[in-house]
């Protein structure tokens, strides 16, 4: 009896297998892992992941075909919690799952690139700007689409020095601030007369008045702050509450919603804050960016900053989502170019393809350059009434249109 | 016979003896432990792709670090919150050695462990005499210090990217996650065995005694502070070893991975799994792994990362364990199994050896002690001669106990000196005096509640052992085993002298008050004393207890001991004392020799 049952089950299985078989090619999945600090910096993590997901959904909807088979791009989110060892564990999982590429904020790349390189899996950094992270010769599988620290620092120096300001360089004691201190040190090396003071900001301090006072006493006529958003907000608060209307310049940290949230009760203190970042629009005009932003908001909703401007709610443009969006499109272009998913050939093809980016710029890499954002893509924007627009006194910024930030 | 052949014969005999000892002492618990170890070793094959091998390997290294912490928490009863810092120290030391030398990976891990042991020794030294709460706070601060130092010193920690370490072969194998996992399981198993060996040896017994009653342990000469430093160092060594190997699995020394949260999680693992059980910490780590899965599920429901829920769930579990009586998983499981399947093997009782005592004269000359303006002891001189009992009587506050404490070394005298035979003892510590043969007992409530009656006597014997060190206990040398057999026989002799040999296997907490007092006399006798200082041994004694106590004291006199008896019960004094000294306001106001029949 038992034997007959087993034979019956086996026969049914064979029949079922035969019925399930189809002559049409099976759908392929191109897996892109987003490894970002979702638990520690959710704004950064979600922006990167959403940009990647938007591109994946659009590609799948358009009908991606690889090797004659319909394909789809799938995004897998893994939380590295800003921990390099978590990033290594995430990379191992990505490799086990045969990921086609890994998008990351940059955490742990020093440790993970080698693991990925053995399997010819490309890594794209979409946030951190450390110069040493990307090197096409020694790390052939590491790419970046984000402003570099080097680019930000040199553009800031180039912008500020001609104004004949005496600049106090304030950097916090986080890794971000320490990287900024090194980048600013290089950028201001030949123009050290423009530097009034170099001051370290303790991230954990509740009041930065002593450090701001030290800057004031040094004769500074401008503050250049390279710090985490919360520290930047405290620095501005310390200066303004002391009645010091000194101009403040900073990095992309300035556009982080945290800064505006912390200064919401004193919106005038934020007026005049100028930050450097990767530009969202190109000379072509704002249409490509607007299309991207509309798609992003339709899919995920607008990122509310939590403050108002002239009675209307302020939203944060998804500029870092633009970078991950562009990389997924580049990856898809590479896959289609080789018409397959063999990692080594896809990696090689990434050095040859280019796409139209979310802001209308041409994005692409080559064997000698794995940076997707060149130094000249860094622009400056200035706040007024909780929203920002490109400055008028920088030739590379003044031609850029302002992005609508209220709803 | 040539020298190598003779050595080979000796080695063979020693190995046969080890096997025989292992077979004789093999228990159902040992069988269960072996099966758990085998299951753990096969887990990557059994679980298939369900859990990634690198995740299992990380967990196994965590289990190793937790088992190391078990040395500190389970043996010494010290709630260390610095194990994460020790793991981190091992990891970063090993990482720097790996980056700057060509040494093999396993050697780098050991160097990391030595570095961590150095920090552990310093930490142990700092907290050696603190109570549990202060130890917890102090070690928690150390965890923060290490985390802050790693954050503030990028040259040490590698900054946000960490220190990337080169991969090296481990014991000749390619360092795959599977090799790391099996290595971690083997090391955890060895550490658990070490925990068992140490717990049964003098090191563990002394630590347990010190954890349960510091005063009674000090009176028996247990060198508590030194043992505590040793427990911290050993715990840190194992933690550092885990860190030194784990960093080679992670291929990066991560400055964010060794913060206070790791220390908290390791302590939770130990307390939840069971600090007293060798496999308790490992079981605790498995529970933490399950909690991580639950936290992930919660996170999925709430739309946030599961890591936000994990510490909260861990803290809730710890609270649940503590508020329900502190019965951790593994000890509770062992107790349940024992109730259902009683241990089949009963250890044979060794035959008692003769009671060991020394015959030496103690002299105290012009002892004086002030507490502020009060002269507690004022020029007291006395002689305690072998084979005699001297009673110290007087009203409350007359200075009797202070004299006892001066003689035992618990208080340094303001004036006067103490000698035993030719040895000057005035400045000697209590532990040194016990080694010379001067030992005291405290009052009824001073005993070690979680030790058995036999173990109490063994704590006393430990003071006389020459080959009972922790390292010898770990490797169970022939000398150690031989001395252990002798120690057990002597412990039985001491118990027989006070009429407790039949109760050897009972927990001391089951004895009556006078039974515990007799037990502490047995523990004192086990130290091979010349002078016994007894503090009110008749407190709470009924008439039949007094008769038994009288017989015991008579026997001690007959054995040649010099006994000083601080006593309120004049009936007992008259029954046993050869000489009575009456104290009043710290001075001897009357000396009387009593005729003995």
Tell me what pLDDT residue B342 has: 66
Tell me what pLDDT residue A22 has: 46
Of A42, A88, A109, the CB nearest to B250: A88
CA–CA distance, B19 with B478 (Å, rounded to integer): 12
CATH fold match for the domains A28-148+320-375 and A150-283+310-316+378-398: yes
3-state helix, strand, coil in chain A (%, to 5): 45, 25, 30
3-state SS, residue A384: strand
Q: How far is B310 from chain A (nearest CA, A)?
A: 12
Is residue A88 within 8 Å of A24, Cβ to Cβ?
no
Segment B518-539 mean pLDDT: 89
CATH topology of domain B51-340: ABC transporter involved in vitamin B12 uptake, BtuC (1.10.3470)
Q: What are phi and psi of A108, to 5 degrees?
A: 75, 10
* Four-point Cα dihedral A7, A13, A14, A20, nearest 10: 170
CA dihedral over A175, A180, A183, A186, signed as positive or negative: negative
pLDDT tens profile B351-398: 667 777 788 899 999 999 998 888 889 999 999 999 999 999 998 888
- For β-strands A274-278 and A248-250, DSSP reports them as parallel
Q: Is A83 on the interface with B (CB under 8 A)?
A: yes
Cross-chain Cβ contact A179/B52 below 8 Å: no
* Higher pLDDT, residue B32 or B41: B41
* Four-point Cα dihedral A202, A203, A206, A212, nearest 10: 50
* Number of neighbouring beta carbons within 10 Å of residue B131: 10
Q: In what order do the strands lie in the sheet with A248-250?
A: A195-201, A167-172, A222-226, A248-250, A274-278, A378-384, A387-390
Is residue B75 within 8 Å of B207, Cβ to Cβ?
yes
Tell me what pLDDT residue B350 has: 66
Question: Strands (DSSP E) along B421-530, which ranges?
Answer: 423-424, 438-441
Cross-chain Cβ contact A89/B160 below 8 Å: no
Please say if the pLDDT value at position A399 is more than 50: yes
Tell me what pLDDT residue A20 has: 43
CATH fold match for the domains B51-340 and B362-593: no
Please say if the pLDDT value at position B327 is more than 80: no
Cross-chain Cβ contact A82/B251 below 8 Å: no
Q: Where are the domains of chain B?
A: 51-340, 362-593
Task: Choose the weakest-confidence range: A13-17, B353-357, B384-388, B479-483.
Answer: A13-17
Tell me what pLDDT residue B263 has: 95
Q: How far is A261 from chain B (nearest CA, A)?
A: 21
CA–CA distance, A389 with B484 (Å, rounded to integer): 83
Is residue B250 within 8 Å of B76, Cβ to Cβ?
no
State which H helix or E strand residue B392 sits in.
strand B388-393
Please give the structure tokens belonging to residue B95: 């990482």
Segment A259-282 mean pLDDT: 92
Please give the structure tokens belonging to residue B448: 């070690």
Cα A264 to Cα A43, A271, A307, B299, distances in angstroms? 18, 12, 6, 30
Question: Strands (DSSP E) along A236-329, which ranges?
Answer: 248-250, 274-278, 303-309, 312-316
> What's the count of helices (H) and strands (E) in chain A, helices before strands?
14, 17
Please say if the pLDDT value at position B346 is more than 60: no
State the pLDDT confidence band at B325, using cuts at 50, 70 and 90: low
pLDDT tens profile B120-134: 999 999 998 888 899
Q: What are phi and psi of B170, to 5 degrees?
A: -115, 115
Segment B560-567 mean pLDDT: 91
Q: Which of B427, B437, B448 is nearest to B507 (CA)?
A: B448
Bridge partners of B186, per DSSP, are none
CA–CA distance, B139 with B117 (Å, rounded to integer): 14
Q: What is the ipTM of this complex?
A: 0.78
Residues of chain B neighbouring A83 (CB-CB closer than 8 A): 254, 256-257
Cross-chain Cβ contact B256/A110 below 8 Å: no
3-state SS, residue A68: coil
Q: Is A39 on the interface with B (CB under 8 A)?
A: yes
Report the phi/psi class of residue A366: left, alpha or beta, with left for phi > 0 and alpha for psi in -120 to 50.
beta
Please give the structure tokens belonging to residue A151: 């680019």
The average confidence (pLDDT) of chain A is: 90
Of A42, A79, A83, the CB nearest to B257: A83
CA–CA distance, B577 with B389 (Å, rounded to integer): 5
Bridge partners of B582, per DSSP, are B393, B590
Of A81, A84, A176, the CB nearest to B161: A84
Please say if the pLDDT value at position A6 is more than 50: no
State the pLDDT confidence band at B449, using cuts at 50, 70 and 90: confident
Residues of chain B neighbouring A109 (CB-CB closer than 8 A): 161
Is residue A93 within 8 Å of A86, Cβ to Cβ?
no
* Higher pLDDT, residue B301 or A172: A172
CA–CA distance, B48 with B51 (Å, rounded to integer): 7
3-state SS, residue B111: helix
pLDDT tens profile A336-356: 999 998 999 999 999 999 999
Please give the structure tokens belonging to residue B219: 């009176």
Tell me what pLDDT residue A312 has: 93
Tell me what pLDDT residue A338 has: 93
* Higher pLDDT, residue B509 or A387: A387
The CA-CA-CA angle for residues A153, A158, A160, to 5°, reads: 90
Residues 6+ apart with CB under 8 A from B456: B209, B447, B448, B508, B519, B520, B522, B523
Q: Where are the domains of chain A?
A: 28-148+320-375, 150-283+310-316+378-398
Q: What are phi and psi of B181, to 5 degrees?
A: -60, -50
CA–CA distance, B209 with B595 (Å, rounded to integer): 40
Q: Which residue has the tokens 């940290």?
A: A253
DSSP string, A319-362: HHHHHHHHHHHHHHHHHHHHTS--HHHHHHHHTT-EEE-TTS-E
Is residue A135 within 8 Å of A142, Cβ to Cβ?
yes
Please give the structure tokens belonging to residue B307: 């890591």
**Cα-only R_g, chain A:** 24
CATH topology of domain A28-148+320-375: Rossmann fold (3.40.50)
Is residue B442 within 8 Å of B215, Cβ to Cβ?
yes
Segment B135-161 mean pLDDT: 90
Is residue A78 within 8 Å of A33, Cβ to Cβ?
yes
Q: Could you tell me the end-to-end alpha-carbon distance of chain A, in angstroms, rounded to an integer?
A: 72
Cross-chain Cβ contact A89/B162 below 8 Å: no
Please say if the pLDDT value at position A7 is more than 70: no
3-state SS, residue B566: strand
Tell me what pLDDT residue B344 has: 56
CA–CA distance, B231 with B207 (Å, rounded to integer): 9
CA–CA distance, B266 with B254 (Å, rounded to integer): 18
Q: Is A76 on the interface with B (CB under 8 A)?
A: no
Superfamily (CATH H level) for A150-283+310-316+378-398: Response regulator (3.40.50.2300)
CA–CA distance, A249 with A161 (Å, rounded to integer): 12
Tell me what pLDDT residue A16 has: 42
CA–CA distance, B211 with B219 (Å, rounded to integer): 14
Bridge partners of A172, per DSSP, are A201
Segment B420-434 mean pLDDT: 88
Please say if the pLDDT value at position A11 is more than 60: no
Cross-chain Cβ contact A79/B305 below 8 Å: yes
CATH classification code of B362-593: 3.40.50.300
Cross-chain Cβ contact B307/A81 below 8 Å: yes
Cross-chain Cβ contact A178/B308 below 8 Å: no
Report the phi/psi class of residue B341: left, alpha or beta, with left for phi > 0 and alpha for psi in -120 to 50.
beta
3-state SS, residue A197: strand
pLDDT tens profile B102-124: 999 999 999 999 999 999 999 99
CA–CA distance, A141 with A163 (Å, rounded to integer): 41
Q: Which residue has the tokens 């010091």?
A: A244
The CA-CA-CA angle for residues B585, B587, B590, to 5°, reads: 110
Please say if the pLDDT value at position A300 is more than 90: yes
Tell me what pLDDT residue A21 has: 45
Q: Which of A285, A246, A276, A236 is nearest to A149 (CA)?
A: A276
Of A96, A111, A115, the CB nearest to B162: A111
State the best of B56, B166, B248, B250 to mutate against chain A, taking most chain A CBs within 10 Å.
B250
DSSP B72: I
Residues 6+ apart with CB under 8 A from B285: B59, B62, B63, B66, B269, B273
């Amino acid at each position: 009896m038992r034997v007959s049952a087993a034979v019956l089950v086996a026969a049914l299985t064979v029949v079922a297998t035969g019925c399930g078989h189809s002559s049409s090619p099976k759908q392929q999945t191109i897996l892109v892992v987003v490894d970002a600090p979702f638990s520690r910096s959710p704004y950064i993590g979600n922006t990167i992941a959403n940009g990647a997901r938007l591109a994946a959904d659009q590609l799948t909807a358009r009908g991606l075909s690889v090797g004659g088979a319909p394909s789809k791009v799938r995004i897998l989110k893994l939380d590295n919690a800003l921990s390099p060892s978590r990033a290594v564990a995430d990379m191992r999982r990505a490799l086990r799952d045969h990921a086609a590429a890994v998008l990351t904020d940059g955490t742990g790349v020093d440790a993970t690139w080698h693991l990925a390189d053995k399997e010819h899996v490309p890594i794209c950094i979409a946030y951190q700007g450390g110069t040493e992270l990307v090197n096409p010769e020694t790390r052939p599988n590491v790419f970046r689409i984000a402003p570099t620290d080097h680019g930000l620092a040199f553009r800031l120096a180039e912008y500020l020095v001609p104004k004949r300001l005496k600049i106090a360089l304030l950097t916090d004691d986080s890794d971000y601030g320490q990287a900024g201190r090194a980048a600013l040190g290089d950028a201001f090396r030949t123009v050290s007369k423009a530097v009034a003071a170099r001051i370290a900001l303790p991230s954990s301090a509740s009041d930065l008045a002593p450090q701001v006072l030290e800057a004031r006493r040094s004769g500074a006529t401008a503050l250049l702050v390279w710090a985490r958003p919360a520290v930047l907000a405290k620095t501005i608060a310390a200066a303004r509450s002391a009645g010091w209307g000194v101009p403040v310049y900073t990095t992309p940290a300035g556009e982080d919603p945290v800064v505006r949230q912390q200064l919401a009760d004193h919106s005038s203190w934020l007026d005049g804050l100028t930050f450097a970042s990767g530009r969202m629009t190109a000379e072509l005009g704002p249409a490509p960016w607007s299309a991207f932003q509309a798609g992003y908001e339709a899919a995920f909703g607008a990122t509310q900053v939590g403050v108002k401007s002239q009675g209307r709610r302020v939203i944060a443009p998804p500029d870092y989502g633009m970078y991950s969006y562009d990389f997924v499109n580049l990856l898809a272009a590479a896959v289609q170019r080789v018409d397959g998913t063999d990692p080594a050939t896809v990696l090689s093809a990434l050095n040859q393809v280019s796409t139209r980016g979310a802001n209308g710029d041409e994005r692409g890499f080559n064997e000698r350059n794995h940076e997707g954002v060149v130094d000249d893509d860094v622009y400056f924007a200035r706040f007024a009434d909780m929203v920002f627009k490109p400055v008028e006194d920088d030739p590379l910024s003044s031609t850029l249109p302002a992005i609508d930030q209220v709803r | 016979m040539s020298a190598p052949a003779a050595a080979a014969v000796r080695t063979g005999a020693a190995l046969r003896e080890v096997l025989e000892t292992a077979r004789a002492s093999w228990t159902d618990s040992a069988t269960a432990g072996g099966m758990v170890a085998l299951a753990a070793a096969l887990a990557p094959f059994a679980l298939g792709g369900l859990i990634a091998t690198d995740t299992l390997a990380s967990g196994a290294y965590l289990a190793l670090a937790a088992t190391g912490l078990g040395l500190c928490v389970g043996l010494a009863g010290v709630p260390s919150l610095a194990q994460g810092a020790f793991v981190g120290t091992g990891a970063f030391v090993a990482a720097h050695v790996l980056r700057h030398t060509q040494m093999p990976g396993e050697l780098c891990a050991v160097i990391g462990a030595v570095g961590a042991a150095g920090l552990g020794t310093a930490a142990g030294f700092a907290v050696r005499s603190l109570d549990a709460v202060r130890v917890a706070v102090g070690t928690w601060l150390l965890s923060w210090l290490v985390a802050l130092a790693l954050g503030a010193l990028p040259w040490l920690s590698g900054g946000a990217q960490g220190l990337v370490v080169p991969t090296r072969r481990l014991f000749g194998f390619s360092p795959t996650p599977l090799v790391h996992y099996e290595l971690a399981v083997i090391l955890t198993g060895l550490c658990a065995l070490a925990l068992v060996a140490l717990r049964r040896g003098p090191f563990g017994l002394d630590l347990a005694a010190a954890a349960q009653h510091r005063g009674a342990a000090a009176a028996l000469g247990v060198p508590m502070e030194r043992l505590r430093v040793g427990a911290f160092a050993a715990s840190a060594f194992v933690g550092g070893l885990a860190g030194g190997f784990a960093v080679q699995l992670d291929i990066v020394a991560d400055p964010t991975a060794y913060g206070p949260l790791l220390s908290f999680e390791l302590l939770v693992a130990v307390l939840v799994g069971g600090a007293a059980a060798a496999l308790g910490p490992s079981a605790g780590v498995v529970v933490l792994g399950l909690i991580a899965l639950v936290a992930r599920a919660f996170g999925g429901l709430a739309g946030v990362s599961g890591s936000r829920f994990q510490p909260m769930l861990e803290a809730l579990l710890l609270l649940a364990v503590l508020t329900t009586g502190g019965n951790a998983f593994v000890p509770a499981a062992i107790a349940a199994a024992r109730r259902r399947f009683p241990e089949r093997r009963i250890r044979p009782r060794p035959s008692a050896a003769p009671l060991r005592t020394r015959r030496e004269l103690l002299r105290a000359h012009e002892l004086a002690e002030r507490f502020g303006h009060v002269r507690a002891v004022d020029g007291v001189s006395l002689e305690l001669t072998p084979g005699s009992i001297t009673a110290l009587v007087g009203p409350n506050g007359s200075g009797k106990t202070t004299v006892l404490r001066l003689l035992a070394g618990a208080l340094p005298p303001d004036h006067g000196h103490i000698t035993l035979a030719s040895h000057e003892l005035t400045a000697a510590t209590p532990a040194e005096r016990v080694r010379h043969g001067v030992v005291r007992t405290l009052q009824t409530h001073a005993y070690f509640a979680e030790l058995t009656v036999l173990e109490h006597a063994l704590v006393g014997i430990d003071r006389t052992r020459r080959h009972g060190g922790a390292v010898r206990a770990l490797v169970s040398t022939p000398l150690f085993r031989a001395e252990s057999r002798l120690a057990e026989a002597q412990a039985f002799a001491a118990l027989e002298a006070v009429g407790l040999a039949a109760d050897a296997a009972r927990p001391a907490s089951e004895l009556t008050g006078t039974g515990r007092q007799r037990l502490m006399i047995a523990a004192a006798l086990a130290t091979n004393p010349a002078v016994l200082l007894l503090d009110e041994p008749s407190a709470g004694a009924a008439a039949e207890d007094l008769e038994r106590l009288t017989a015991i004291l008579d026997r001690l006199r007959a054995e040649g001991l010099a006994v000083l008896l601080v006593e309120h019960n004049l009936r007992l004094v008259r029954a046993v004392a050869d000489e009575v000294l009456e104290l009043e306001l710290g001075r001897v106001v009357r000396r009387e020799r009593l005729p003995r029949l």
